[in-house]
Amino acid sequence: MKNVTTNRAMQALSPYWRRTEPFLRHRYLTLASRLTLGGVFIFAGVAKMQIEPSYIDSLIWEINKYNMLPHQLATAYGYVLPPLEIALGIFLVVGLFLRAGATVSGLVVLSFAIAKIQALARGLDISICPCFGDAVPLLSGYSLAIDFALLAMAVQIFYHRGDFLALGPWFSQKAAELDQQEKE
């Protein structure tokens, strides 16, 4: 019985999927998603590092306002987050480690969304999100909408596996050519 309902659901969605699949797998959409997500991550990481006098202490204080993580874990998250965002952004923009970069960036964005949702549900007074440091103060509701858009981009990059204007496949091709030359 379960297979019958699953098959009916798939048959009902099939015409819509056939129309949207080429769009979702289009190489220009993937390139735009990579550049946008990577650019946002680079900007956010750099903006968090610009907080004076010590960006780490300020960022850890912001993380602790959400009351989700123990202090030691929040401290580790504060130290790791800005360099991780910059590295992920660079990997996505240049097209290296795309699946891993999309996965990790999706998990980071998901952690942001979960933190904001639980803060809103618990009624915590966090009206301004520290997503971009002091560079762009965003209301939590707006930043949550941005998080969902970024998460959709990460999912699209993960499933497309596109190599359009990406360095990863180019490096793989060059390595294969060198291996072939060594065998000859």
Mean pLDDT of the region 55-66: 82
Q: List the domain range (segments joined by +) for residue 153.
A: 26-78+87-160
In a domain, 16, yes or no: no
In a domain, 117, yes or no: yes
In a domain, 183, yes or no: no
Using one digit for the tens of pLDDT, what is the confidence trace for 15-50? 766 676 666 667 788 888 999 999 999 999 988 887
In a domain, 175, yes or no: no
Q: Provide the whole-model pTM.
A: 0.80
Q: In 3D, which of 130, 126, 155 has the Cα closest to residue 51?
A: 130
> How many domains does the chain contain in total?
1
In a domain, 111, yes or no: yes
Using one digit for the tens of pLDDT, what is the confidence trace for 137-166? 777 788 889 999 999 999 988 888 667 777
In a domain, 21, yes or no: no
DSSP annotation string for 80-107: HHHHHHHHHHHHHHHTSSHHHHHHHHHH
Please report the pLDDT score of residue 91 as a whole number. 93
> Residue 123 pLDDT > 80, yes or no?
yes
